[in-house]
Amino acid sequence: MRIRQGAVVLLLSSLFLIPAADAAPDAKACLACHASMKGNIEKEKGVLVNLNVDAEKFSKSVHGSFNCVDCHLSFASQPHKGPAAPVDKAIQDLAKALSLKSKIDPVAQAACVNCHPDPYAAYKTSVHGQNVMVKKSTDGPVCTSCHGSPHYIQARPSTESKVYLYNIIVTCGTCHEEKFMSEKYGFSPLVMERYLESFHGRKLKLGHTGAPSCAKCHGSHGILSAKDPKSPVNVANKKATCGQPKCHPGATDKFVAAITHKPLHPVAHFTEIALIILTVGTFMFIIIHVLLDIFADIRDRLFRKGDHHG
Amino acid sequence: MDKNIPQEIERFDLSARIQHIIMFTTFLILSFTGWGLKYAYVEPSSTWINIWGGPRMAGIIHRVAGITMLLDFIYHQFYLLNLARKRDLRLTIIPMPKDVVDLVHNFMYYLGLRKERPYFGKFSYLQKFDYWAVYWGMFIIGTSGFFLAFPVTVSALFPTFTLGWIWDVLFIMHSDEALLAIVFILIIHFYMEHLRSDVFPMNWLWLTGKMSVEKLKHHHPAEYDYLFGPKSKKENK
């Protein structure tokens, strides 16, 4: 009986947590419901939205001290009444430009630029940004595609960050490993594989702090197609990019030909096959030879006493 | 036994023994550090490389060991030249048609088709193979390793038409042939000089340089006959 009374008191007191409609609600208020929601809702056809936010993970993210409405500037549908102030025109336009790619809350996606204007300025001119915003293609990332949900975002040095030195390979690979992408945009179909087996990839895996992963050479927010003369990995700029003082000072044109991420040239391919045949052939020969020698040794010791040499 | 025949003979002089020690020490260091990079994606490679002081230090150790090995190899060529100058160089290590005969005879012996082991000279065909494998390794792994260690500098040597594949070829040569060298040494050399029942736990020749004449007679009968007078194989038995 006492327990039930206590529960009622708790429930009633929780009503005081629900703020008045015109005051900016803080994250706690939203999370009272949004931290314990299960399943997805269908916003429009084919767009499933998970409305739940892991409150603990959110509080530990770099955005943990934010209020929800700092980014969720308006709500498209009831039951919520949006923040009182109307959404800035620039944000609304950007939201529209991103809406093809960011279907859940394009306004919140656009709101990133309020605090991160520089990455946005670079993104606008990048091959990614141009593809999404100008060419209206879905083949390009928006902020959250690479950085993950802003609710759980971690600073780049954190191993949990999606753009952390080691994790960025997987993040870029999400799209750059896709066959249709490489065919459509003309990059090597083996970009990731060839990177991973290169000295750079291997050294990075072993924890070499100087080994570059994708963004170190290709750039990040302002990334350009390698065919673009302004790209750091364009033929014209590769020497300067590879030749940075901490990497390969004095890099020459012939040296920078080493890293292309392209599939193996037939010469290299057949060299590899020839060497594999040689290696396997030698293995077979020496293993058979050693085994026969062991058997002969045992045979001599057992049956040809005096013939062996101990 | 004839009084003129000594108990043991010197097979490797001090210089050769030191060359061998430098060769196998650097070989082991190169294998240990290189393995971690070749199999970087197979754990516990990261831990293993950290034991060597991390990837940067492992890289430095690998390069220093590699250059030391190359110098040891170059020194060996001068050592041979010096022996030739002193008219002390016998061409017993050169592969000969007889080695093919020995190989066939040896397999026949293994299979019980011959009663006696082949009439081996100073070096059996396997020992010759072992010796020349180092030359092959130096040519393939040594040069590619040298190029990969100083890529910016040596890139000037590459003709333009090779640039589409030369770097991959160098990497493949270095990595695949190193594996071949390691497994070759691990199987043949370790078996012949460590595990074989008549040498276990090791053939002390690498330290003493000496082989008993008794063993010489058994394993290298042709050399025994060369050194201690013409005798027929039957008499040796």
B61-76: pLDDT as tens digits: 999 999 999 999 999 9
Model pLDDT for residues A128-166, shown as the tens digit of each residue: 999 998 888 888 899 999 999 889 999 888 888 999 888
Rounded Cα distance, A129 and A222, in Å: 8
Integer angstrom CA distances of residue B133 from B83, B106, B125: 21, 20, 12
Q: Is residue A89 part of a domain?
A: yes
- This model of the complex carries an ipTM of 0.88
User: Is A129 contained in some domain?
Assistant: yes
Q: In this predicted structure, what is the pLDDT of residue B3? A: 56
Which of A105, A140, A175 is a domain's end point? A140
Q: How far apart are CA A83 and CA A24, in angstroms?
A: 7
Final residue in a domain of this structure, among A103, A124, A140: A140
Nearest chain B alpha carbon to A252 = B152
Chain B interface mutation, best of A204, A261, A275, A278, highest count of B Cβ atoms under 10 Å: A275
Least confident range from A42-46, A134-138, B52-56: namely A42-46
On whether residue B32 sits in a domain, the answer given is yes
Domain boundary among A106, A140, A174: A140
Residue A226 lies in a domain: no
CB-CB under 8 Å, B112 with A203: no
Where in the sequence is the domain holding B33, given as residue range(s)?
Answer: 8-89
Range of the domain at A97: 47-140
Residue A275 touches chain B, beta carbons under 8 Å: yes
B71-121 pLDDT, tens digit each:
999 999 999 999 999 988 889 999 999 999 999 999 999 999 998 889 999
In a domain, residue B57? The reply is yes
Beta-bridge partner residues of B211 = B9
User: Quick count: other Cβ atoms within 10 Å of Cβ A36?
Assistant: 10
Average pLDDT over residues A271-284: 95
Residue contacts between A and B (CB atoms, under 8 Å): 127
Q: How far apart are CA A272 and CA B189, in angstroms?
A: 25
Per the CB < 8 Å rule, is A290 touching B164? no
- Cα–Cα distance for residue pair B27/B138, rounded to 1 Å: 11
Domains held by chain A: number: 2
- Number of domain units in chain B: 1
Distance from CA of A198 to the nearest CA of B (A): 9
For chain B, give the mean pLDDT.
Answer: 91
Is the separation of the CB atoms in A221 and A126 below 8 Å?
yes
Distance between CA atoms of A257 and B167, rounded to whole angstroms?
8
